[in-house]
Amino acid sequence: MADIPATPVPTELTLKKASRCLEVVFADGAEFRLPAEYLRVHSPSAEVTGHSPGEGVLVTGKEQVGIERIEPVGRYAVKLVFDDGHDTGLYTWQKLYELGADYETKWRRYLERLAEAGHERAAPEPRSGG
């Protein structure tokens, strides 16, 4: 896992609806371009993470998902409202930083899990990373 600052704070959050990405710039200079599919399948919601530790659920069929809007939650997180109706789970600054810093590893594992489940992605891989 990447070395993540104690309290990463974003200075910019930009929703790119056409490319279905969320661009995040943090105060420490880190910049991430996070595809909606990646954010959706790594949602911090109970639906995805499960209700117990280690109970994570493989979410499939989200290749074309988009983000409708970003809703601020206090000064520590945002709620992402996806166009498939999913709108639970708070993306804290720490979680967004982790998702950006560990993008390559998490994305590769997601693709491996899809293959293990026999699911073929219906779209080319999104371009992302930091």
Each residue of 106-125: pLDDT tens digit? 999 999 999 999 998 876 66
Tell whether 3 is covered by a domain: no
Share of the chain above pLDDT 70, in %: 85
Tell whether 2 is covered by a domain: no
Tell whether 124 is covered by a domain: no
Residue 54: give the domain boundaries.
10-116
Tell whether 64 is covered by a domain: yes
Whole-prediction pTM value?
0.88
Tell whether 55 is covered by a domain: yes
Tell whether 123 is covered by a domain: no
* CB of 122 closer than 8 Å to CB of 62: no
CATH code of the domain covering residue 89: 3.30.2020.30
Mean pLDDT of the chain: 89
Element housing 14 (H / E):
strand 10-16
Alpha carbons 84 and 99: distance in angstroms, whole number? 21
Tell whether 19 is covered by a domain: yes
Give the total number of structural domains in the chain.
1
